[in-house]
Amino acid sequence: MEPILLSRRGLLVSFALGATFGGRPGMAQTGRSLDANEVDSFLAIGGDGAVTIYTSKVDVGTGVATAICQMAAEELGIPMARFSVVQGDTALTPDHGGTGGSSGVPRGGVHIRQAAATAREALLNMAAERLKRPAAELTLADGRVQPGGITEASLIGGKRLALKIDPKAPLKEPAEYTVVGKPFLRPDVPAKCTGRQTYIQDFSVPGMLHGRVVRPPGLQAKLLSVDESSIRGIPDVRVVRIESFLGVVAKDEWAAIRAARELKAQWSDWRELPGSDGLERFVREGEVGREQTIVNRGDAASALQANGAKQLSATYYWPFQSHASLGPSCAVADVREEGTTTIWTSSQGPHNLRKFLAKMFGIPAEKMRVVFVQGAGSYGRNGNDDAAADALLLSRAVKQPVRVQWMREDEHGWDPKGPAQLLDVKGALDAEGRIAAWQTEMWIPGGPSGAPALVGPEAAGIPQGRGQSAGQMTQNGDPPYRAEHVRVLARTLKDTPLRLSNLRAPGKIGNVFAVESFTDELAAAAGIDALEFRLRGLSDARAIAVLQKAAEMIGWQKRPSPNREKAGTGMWFGRGMAYVHYKQAENHVAIAMEVMVDRANGKIVVRRVTCAHDCGLIVNPDGLRNQVEGNILQTLSRTLHEEVQFDQSRVTSVDWAGYPILRFNEAPAIEVALIDKLELPPLGAGEAASAPVAAALGNAVFDATGVRLRKVPFTREHVLAEV
Amino acid sequence: MPQYKFRVNGREVSVDSWDAEQPLLYVLRNGLGLHGAKFGCGLGQCGACTVLLDGKVTRSCMTPVRTVAGRAVTTIEGLGTPEKPDAVAAAFIQEQAAQCGYCTSGMIVAAKALLTGTPHPTREQAKESLDGNLCRCGTYTRILNAVMRAAKA
Ligand code: FES
Ligand code: FES
The pLDDT score that the predictor gives to residue A117 is 94
Q: Domain locations in chain B?
A: 3-77, 87-152
Residue A508: inside a domain: no
Query: The sheet that has A13-14: what strands, in order across it?
Result: A13-14, A83-87, A51-55, A43-45
3-state SS class at A18: coil
Ranges of H-type helices in A263-383: 279-285, 300-305, 350-361
Please name the helix (run of DSSP H) or strand (run of DSSP E) that holds residue B143, with its range, or none. Answer: helix B140-152
Q: Same structural domain for residues A431 and A454? A: yes
- State the architecture of B87-152 in CATH terms: Orthogonal Bundle (1.10)
* In-domain check, residue A475: yes
- Residue A33 pLDDT level (bands cut at 50, 70, 90): confident
Looking at the structure, tell me whether residues A392 and A247 fall in a common domain: yes
Cβ contacts of A373 on chain B, cutoff 8 Å: none
My answer on whether A374 and A227 are in the same domain is yes
Q: Which of A157, A192, A227 is the last residue of a domain?
A: A192
Residues A545, A551: Cα–Cα separation, whole Å: 10
What's the B139 CA to ligand 2 centre distance in angstroms? Answer: 7
What pLDDT was estimated at residue A342?
Answer: 97
Which of A204, A326, A608 best tests the B interface by mutation, with the highest count of B CBs <10 A? A326
Q: Please check whether residue A248 is in contact with residue A214, taking contact to mean a CB–CB distance below 8 angstroms.
A: yes
Of A192, A225, A249, the one marking the end of a domain is: A192
Distance B137 CA to ligand 2 centre (A): 4
Rounded CA gap, A422 and A491, in Å? Answer: 10
Residue A566 — very low, low, confident or very high, per pLDDT cuts 50/70/90?
A: low
Percent of chain A with pLDDT over 90: 86
Task: Say yes or no for a CB contact (<8 Å) between A667 and B43.
Answer: no
Longest dimension (CA), chain B: 48
Answer yes or no: CATH 3.10.20.30 is held by domain B3-77.
yes
How far is B53 from chain A, CA to nearest CA, in Å?
Answer: 17
Burial of B64 from C-beta contacts in 10 A (0-12 / 13-18 / 19+): middle
Tell which wins on pLDDT, B59 or A718. Answer: B59
Domain assignment present for residue A185? The answer is yes
A408–B41 CB contact, under 8 Å: yes
> Which atom of ligand 2 lies closest to the CA of B103?
4
Q: Are residues A124 and A247 in the same domain?
A: no
Instruction: Check residue A723 and give its pLDDT.
Output: 81
CA–chain centroid gap for A588, Å, is: 18
Helix (H) / strand (E) element for A85: namely strand A83-87
Contacts A375 to B, Cβ<8 Å: 100, 102
Give the number of C-alpha atoms closer than 13 A to the C-alpha of residue A431, restricted to the C-beta side: 2
Residue A537 domain flag: yes
What residue ranges line ligand 1, CB within 6 angstroms?
B 39-42, 44-49, 59, 61
Who contacts A552 (Cβ-Cβ below 8 Å, separation ≥6)? none
Q: How confident is the model at residue A285 (pLDDT cuts 50, 70, 90)?
A: very high
| Residues spanned by the domain of A283 | 279-317+419-493
A425-450 per-position pLDDT tens digit: 999 999 999 999 999 999 999 999 88
> Are A196 and B36 inside 8 Å of each other by CB?
yes
Q: How far is CA B110 from CA A403, B50, B55, B103, in A?
A: 29, 7, 10, 11
How many A from CA of A721 to the centre of ligand 1?
33
Burial of A179 (0-12, 13-18, 19+ CB in 10 A): buried
Average pLDDT, chain A: 92
CA distance A698 to chain B (A): 20
Residue of B nearest to A192 (CA): B101
Task: Kindly list the residues from chain A whose CB atom is less than 8 angstroms away from the CB atom of residue B101.
Answer: 61, 188-189, 192-193, 197
Which of these, B56, B37, B33, B55, lies nearest to B47 by C-alpha position? B37
On whether the CB atoms of residues A318 and A413 are closer than 8 A, the answer is no
**Containing H/E element for B8?**
strand B3-8
For residue A500, being part of any structural domain is answered with no
Rounded Cα gap, residues A528 and A534, in angstroms: 10
How much is the pLDDT for A567?
62
Both A452 and A486 in a single domain?
yes
Q: Please state the domain count of chain A.
A: 4
pLDDT in tens, A603-652: 999 999 999 999 999 999 999 999 999 999 999 999 999 999 999 999 99
> In this structure, are residues A622 and A684 in contact, taking their beta carbons and an 8 Å threshold?
no
Q: Which residues of B touch A387 (CB under 8 A)?
A: none
Higher-pLDDT residue of A73 and B1 is: A73
User: Which band of pLDDT confidence, cut at 50, 70 and 90, is reported for residue A106?
Assistant: confident
Q: Which ligand is nearest to the CA of A374?
A: 2
Is the pLDDT reported for residue A344 higher than 80? yes
In the stretch 231-270 of chain A, residues with CB closer than 8 A to chain B read 235, 252-255, 257-258
Q: Distance (Å) from the C-alpha of residue B116 to the closest C-alpha of chain A?
A: 18
Q: Which residue of B has its CA nearest to A322?
A: B136
Query: Is the Cβ–Cβ distance between A685 and A613 less than 8 Å?
Result: yes
CA-based nearest distance B71→chain A, Å: 22
Same-domain check for residues A378 and A294: no
Q: B15: burial class by Cβ within 10 Å (0-12, 13-18, 19+)?
A: buried
Q: What are phi and psi of A431, to 5 degrees?
A: -60, -30
- Model confidence at A11: pLDDT above 60: no
Q: Are A326 and B142 a contacting pair at CB < 8 A?
A: no
Same domain, A345 and A392: yes
Q: Which helix (H) or strand (E) holds A387?
A: helix A384-398
Q: Are residues A264 and A396 in the same domain?
A: yes
Cα(A457) to centroid of ligand 2, in Å?
A: 30
Model pTM above 0.90: yes
Does some domain include residue A503?
no
Position with higher pLDDT, A527 vs A98? A527
Give the residue on B whose Cα is nearest the Cα of A408: B41
Contact A507, A421 (CB under 8 A): yes
Residues A285 and A221 in one domain: no
Q: Do A638 and A713 form a contact (C-beta atoms < 8 A)?
A: yes
Which of A192, A684, A191, A52 has its CA nearest to residue B135?
A192
ipTM of the predicted structure?
Answer: 0.98
Residues 6+ apart with CB under 8 A from A326: A376, A377, B40, B46, B48, B100, B102, B103, B134, B135, B136, B137
The mean pLDDT value of chain B amounts to: 97
User: Angle at the Cα of B90 (from B86 to B94), degrees rounded to 5?
Assistant: 175
The lowest-confidence range among A12-26, A527-541, A699-713 is A12-26
What tens digit of pLDDT does each residue of A165-188 get? 999 999 999 999 999 999 999 999
Give the confidence band of A305 by pLDDT, cuts at 50, 70, 90.
confident
Summarised one tens digit per residue, pLDDT across range A135-166 is 999 999 999 999 989 999 999 988 999 999 99
Q: Residue B153 class from Cβ within 10 Å (0-12 exposed, 13-18 middle, 19+ buried)?
A: exposed
* Stretch (H or E) spanning A719: helix A716-722
A60 contacts A687 by C-beta, under 8 angstroms: no
Radius of gyration of chain A (CA): 27
In 3D space, the residue among A47, A42, A51 whose CA is nearest the CA of residue A153 turns out to be A47
Backbone angles phi, psi at A336, to 5 degrees: -90, 160
**Does some domain include residue A364?**
yes
**Is A161 found in the same domain as A286?**
no
The rounded Å distance from CA A374 to ligand 1 centre is 20
- How far is residue A224's CA from residue A20's CA, in Å, rounded to a whole number? 38
Contact A498, A320 (CB under 8 A): yes
Closest to A503 in 3D by CA, of A443, A421, A442: A421
Task: Give the bridge partners for A438, in sequence order.
Answer: A427, A486
Which one of A414, A435, A463 terminates a domain? Answer: A414
CATH number where A157 lies:
3.30.365.10
So what's the pLDDT on residue A568?
65
**Residues B132-144 pLDDT 10s:** 999 999 999 999 9
Check whether residue A221 and residue A370 sit in a common domain: yes
Q: What separation in angstroms does the CA of A440 have from each of A254, A427, A469, A496, A664?
A: 52, 9, 22, 21, 36
pLDDT at A387 over 80: yes
